[in-house]
Structure 1
Amino acid sequence: MSNERKNLTTSWGSPVGDNQNSITAGARGPVLIQDVHLLEKLAHFNRERIPERVVHAKGAGAHGYFQVTNDVSQYTKADFLSEVGKRTPMFIRFSTVAGELGSADTVRDPRGFAVKFYTEEGNYDLVGNNTPVFFIRDAIKFPDFIHTQKRDPQTHLKNPTAVWDFWSLSPESLHQVTILMSDRGIPATFRHMNGYGSHTFKWVNAEGEAVWVKYHFKTEQGIKNLDVKLAEKLAGENPDYHTEDLFNAIEKGDFPKWKLYVQIMPLEDADTYRFDPFDVTKVWSQKDYPLIEVGEMVLDRNPENYFAEVEQATFSPGTLVPGIEPSPDKMLQGRLFAYHDAHRYRVGTNHQMLPINRAKNEVNNYQRDGAMRFDTNGGGSVYYEPNSFSGPAETPENKQSGFAVSGVAESVPYDHHDHYTQAGDLYRLLSEEERTRLVENIVNAMKPVEREDIKLRQIGHFYKADPEYGTRIAEGLGLEVPKEEARS
């Protein structure tokens, strides 16, 4: 920071002669409306907060770079992945999901893991979580799900009954609920957790050949989680614990690192795999589709200003580059619209022009005007397309690849309804100590639920995943497994 003193000015650049005293009619007279500096300060102060994110409101961010360590050009033509050793600047935002902007970092909640790559072909956003699956698999259920995670409209308190009522009526949530209630539900820090793209995406190579892909960021710091009691203590004593830890680690040169791996599935396997590969509540077995190393992400620079870089950062799974495309994942398809739309509302229609979001390569299009347009607004250049004045033109080689679709246009669920196998497999992978903590966490979370039928319905789901799983939770709640489940 420079020690040279600069002149204080108004927002329009005029020097300020007195920043300590308002202009008044005499020593005791009322304040005059002609004190435009006072009015500007108060009016700007009233507008300093943009709306917080509906989800992922509380977060921390950092700059860094991504470097390719393995040749994956046979799978994708994405330029930033084109050669070993290539470095791409990037920005990441970690977050909780349900809490407000001032909420505690150490609550039991999934963590957002949103990465923006500033590639030479435009920005690429990978907007995932620290878990490989999600609670629901169709975007039409997302507003209802998030309502249950937010505050009750009457009491303005969190509502466990709503949470478990929704989950018990949405059995596809069981896999993610099991992860959330396990030790992984409270990471020790942002540095000590993995990140996942969660959804299935499509990679396309230079020959137009396509594969399905899933992303895995593996922390090189090792996975560490917080004990429940310590997490509660930190939530009260240092609610910004994760934010502080990330900033301090980078500040002292202890740069966090993650290795990026992908799973690759041939297109034709999607029709025969034992789980629907586009269902975000399911994982692909790494025995079937092993992890392939891609590169390393390193965070080496803290933001200079939180609001300008972290709060105004906008991410969307629809921010794509040539060689990376969406899949038919229904949850992803909804997010392709919702995220861009949220940013247009929250930050403004020109949010992509802000320094933290602006692409490093030249942006050429016919979008004009809108609030806070702070560049030349296209000047006097041609403002429509097609045109005869050599304006920016499409590049047919960058058209997205196609994939076959069939069927009747109607509201239909995924074909696969096995919501229990993967959750049960995860339970059985846990050690006895981990199972005990999982059961204890679920029991404590369900005790405040006001209706017994909701508890019993959810116990039935746990029992279907693994009889021991359901029985132990039932016992912890002083209930019995529903007879119809016990007989099955």
Structure 2
Amino acid sequence: DKPPVLLTGNGAPIANKTASLTVGPRGPLLLQDFVYLDEQTHFDRERIPERVVHAKGAGAFGCFEVTNDITQYTRAKIFSKIGKKTPIAVRFSTVGGESGSADTVRDPRGFAVKFYTEEGIWDLVGNNTPIFFVKDPLLFPSFIHTQKRNPVTHLKDMDMFWDFLSLRPESTHQVMILFSDRGIPDGYPHMNGYGSHTFKLVNNNNEFVYCKFHYKFDLEWSSGLLLKPQTILSAFTVSRTLTMELRNLKPTRHRGGTMNLVDNP
């Protein structure tokens, strides 16, 4: 038999989805109305809290192909021969913004790759910059708090941001990159990816080397700042006008560009 169109969460058929059970035409609701309780229960729990960082992003499935022989460094089967292909999932993201924030803000970008290898899943977490603001992970929560809204005013607080950076001089290198043209890439396909962790590769002779993985994009380099070069003040700054244009006219530029590239390879 053809199944009914509407089902409850546990698969029971629904006779009426537009009216609750009541005691008479104007009476109170009945606690035995499972369809109503099922609907309200789902409604109360359907919102999944966003990530603390990297809340907004875009992902795609693809394929990793070995193009050079590195078996002298590792015996991992994913790199066993030239031409070997491994399915992957990639997620790009901004870092500090909420799920509804603009793609075009000046912010590092997340670059995470999941490899579905025959030896198990390998997750390579990374960003679009080869370095980071802090070295000690104990400082990471404090730094991220400076990227979020002030809990008193619920507004972005640049005083928090610059107070932290001024007290942690090891962040200078990352700040220099953030405020260069690379701070606002022209979409996710126009940026590099750098694995955050250092890996120990072991070959068939049990010899090891330390390695960091870098992904260099194949497209022509482009920065979001170069959409209107005449508005650029210098190599490291951009006018307030252009920044507002990027945020207001195309706040989902990076996510939309990724989808277009997937749909039209």
Question: TM-score, structure 1 length as denominator?
Answer: 0.49
Relative distance call for 1:35 and 1:156 in structure 2 (3 A) is same
Whether the 8 Å CA contact 1:194–1:223 is kept in 2: the answer is: no
- 2:43 is aligned to 45
- 1:166 is aligned to 164
- 1:57 is aligned to 55
Q: Quote the offset at 1:200 in angstroms.
A: 2.4
Q: Does 1:135 align with 2:147?
A: no
Relative distance call for 1:238 and 1:36 in structure 2 (3 A) is farther
The 5 A counterparts of 1:315-326 are none
The 5 A counterparts of 1:242-257 are 242-252=254-264, 254=265
Whether the 8 Å CA contact 1:107–1:232 is kept in 2: the answer is: no
Matches of 1:42 and 1:236, distance apart in 2: 36
* Paired amino acid for 1:246: T
Matches of 2:87 and 2:129, distance apart in 1: 24
The 5 A counterparts of 1:305-454 are none
Matches of 1:23 and 1:99, distance apart in 2: 44
Q: Quote the offset at 1:28 in angstroms.
A: 2.9
Relative distance call for 1:24 and 1:231 in structure 2 (3 A) is farther
* Paired amino acid for 1:182: S
- 1:91 is aligned to 89
Whether the 8 Å CA contact 1:193–1:222 is kept in 2: the answer is: no
Whether the 8 Å CA contact 2:4–2:13 is kept in 1: the answer is: no
Matches of 1:108 and 1:241, distance apart in 2: 14
Q: Quote the offset at 1:236 in angstroms.
A: 2.4
- 1:474 is aligned to none
Pick the aligned partner of 1:67 from 65, 78, 87.
Answer: 65
- 2:251 is aligned to 239
* Paired amino acid for 1:245: G
Matches of 2:220 and 2:19, distance apart in 1: 55
- 2:146 is aligned to 148
Higher deviation after alignment, 219-228 or 166-175? 219-228
- 1:28 is aligned to 26
Matches of 2:153 and 2:171, distance apart in 1: 26
The 5 A counterparts of 1:282-293 are none
* Paired amino acid for 2:74: T
- 2:189 is aligned to 191
Relative distance call for 1:9 and 1:197 in structure 2 (3 A) is same
The residue matched to 1:220 in structure 2 has which SS?
coil
The residue matched to 2:212 in structure 1 has which SS?
strand
Question: TM-score, structure 2 length as denominator?
Answer: 0.89
The residue matched to 1:191 in structure 2 has which SS?
helix
Q: Does 1:18 align with 2:40?
A: no
Q: Does 1:111 align with 2:109?
A: yes
Q: Quote the offset at 1:6 in angstroms.
A: 6.1
- 2:235 is aligned to none
Matches of 2:243 and 2:24, distance apart in 1: 56
Q: Quote the offset at 1:21 in angstroms.
A: 2.0
- 2:220 is aligned to 222
Whether the 8 Å CA contact 1:194–1:219 is kept in 2: the answer is: yes
Whether the 8 Å CA contact 2:188–2:254 is kept in 1: the answer is: yes
Q: Quote the offset at 1:158 in angstroms.
A: 1.2
Of all paired residues, the percent bearing the same amino acid is 57
Q: Quote the offset at 1:199 in angstroms.
A: 3.2
The residue matched to 2:182 in structure 1 has which SS?
helix
Runs of 5+ unmatched residues, structure 2? 226-237
Matches of 1:205 and 1:158, distance apart in 2: 49
Whether the 8 Å CA contact 2:106–2:178 is kept in 1: the answer is: yes
Matched residues, number = 250
- The CA deviation string for residues 54-79 of structure 1, in whole angstroms up to 9 with x for no partner, is 11111111111101111111101111
The residue matched to 1:116 in structure 2 has which SS?
strand
Whether the 8 Å CA contact 1:104–1:240 is kept in 2: the answer is: yes
Matches of 1:248 and 1:159, distance apart in 2: 35
Runs of 5+ unmatched residues, structure 1? 255-488
RMSD: 1.7
Relative distance call for 1:122 and 1:231 in structure 2 (3 A) is farther
Q: Detail structure 1 runs of 4+ shifted over 3 Å in the superposition.
A: 228-231
* Paired amino acid for 1:234: L
Whether the 8 Å CA contact 1:186–1:231 is kept in 2: the answer is: no
Whether the 8 Å CA contact 2:91–2:112 is kept in 1: the answer is: yes
Matches of 1:153 and 1:42, distance apart in 2: 31
- 2:204 is aligned to 206
Relative distance call for 1:234 and 1:26 in structure 2 (3 A) is farther
Whether the 8 Å CA contact 1:73–1:81 is kept in 2: the answer is: yes
Matches of 1:6 and 1:64, distance apart in 2: 37
Matches of 2:24 and 2:108, distance apart in 1: 58
Q: Quote the offset at 1:104 in angstroms.
A: 1.1
Whether the 8 Å CA contact 1:131–1:198 is kept in 2: the answer is: no
* Paired amino acid for 2:40: L
Matches of 1:6 and 1:204, distance apart in 2: 57
* Paired amino acid for 1:241: R
Pick the aligned partner of 2:98 from 82, 97, 100.
Answer: 100
